[in-house]
Amino acid sequence: MTDERFDPGGLGKWTGESRFEVTRERLIEYAKATNDPIPAHLAGDVAGPVFAIVPVFESLMEPALEVVPVGLFGRIVHGEQEFRFHRPIRPGDKLVSRARMTGYEGLSNGTRGTIHLECRTEDGDLVNEQYVTLFVRGFDTGETRGELGPEHKFKDSLRSRAPVAEVRQHVDNDQTYRYAPAAGDPMPIHLDEEVAKDSGLPGIIAHGLCTMAFTSWALLTEVAGSDVDRLKRFAVRFAKPVLPGQDLTTRVWHAGAGSYAFETTVGETVVIKDGLAEFAE
């Protein structure tokens, strides 16, 4: 066990800006890589919601370098993801992104921390904000500093009602090989069987954000008329890895005006939990 500690002095420090130009071809590639059936996404007229991770990907982990000891980076997993949408991404957009780590909390089984990202146009208009929860397995930093991401916990009382929608989807055997280039995420645990097994996994696993993209179009098609302009907030907690070839079931509950809670399972195993989607009426 390392005796290193997180550095609270790195909290709140913005990274430099990263730039990304959105093309219709890239939007189409991402839609196809996530099996998205929505015509506007497949035509590249507008981005599916989880495409928003692509322009900010280079900035995603950089803020952690200011806070988390480098020796702990091998223990980091992506715990939660939340998007706040101010407007959809469209072809021709020239986007500028930056990120900062805002806080962390030591727990008995590890330490969780929050990275806040913002994505704007070159003119400065806010396109989206994102809150990424990272989790450092097996290392309790012993303190709480700064601010963690917003809560989106599933309310168990919702289970007393029948879900308003239930969507079944299949993760293709080649899903990770299509998603990796479309998202710009070449992590070997998604592409190399041997590396994945050496990491303690049963084999290649699907990208968590690919699974999240599946849930996003499930919600859009079932409760929002496939209109991404209406989606204002979308958040999940990654509970268990998904393997290529598995079947997903996403169940959706109405949780108030424009708000829907959801969770996704593989068989009886919950793989996405604490799902929340908020739509403009």
What are the tens digits of pLDDT across the range 250-269?
999 999 999 999 999 999 99
Question: How far, in Å, CA of 245 to CA of 48, rounded?
Answer: 23
pLDDT attached to residue 3: 55
pLDDT at 221 over 90: yes
Q: Which two tokens stand for residue 29?
A: 């590639």
Q: What domains are there in the chain, each with its CATH number?
A: 8-279 (3.10.129.10)
CA angle 267, 271, 273 (to 5 degrees): 120
**Are the C-beta atoms of 118 and 98 separated by less than 8 Å?**
yes
pLDDT attached to residue 1: 47
Reported pTM: 0.95
Q: Which residue has the higher pLDDT, 59 or 95?
A: 95
Q: Hey, how many other C-beta atoms are within 10 angstroms of the C-beta on 69? A: 17
Rg (Cα) of the chain, in Å, rounded? 18
For the stretch 7-57, pLDDT in tens is 999 999 999 999 999 999 999 999 999 999 999 999 999 999 999 999 999
Q: For the chain, give the mean pLDDT.
A: 96
pLDDT attached to residue 200: 87
End-to-end CA distance of the chain: 51
Q: Which residue has the higher pLDDT, 92 or 57?
A: 92
**Are the C-beta atoms of 136 and 164 separated by less than 8 Å?**
no
Cα–chain-centroid distance for residue 209?
5
pLDDT attached to residue 163: 98
pLDDT attached to residue 11: 98
Q: Which two tokens stand for residue 11?
A: 């909290």
Q: What sign for the dihedral angle of Cα 20, 124, 50, 44?
A: negative
Please provide residue 60's backbone torsions phi and psi, each rounded to the nearest 5 degrees. -60, -50
pLDDT attached to residue 281: 80
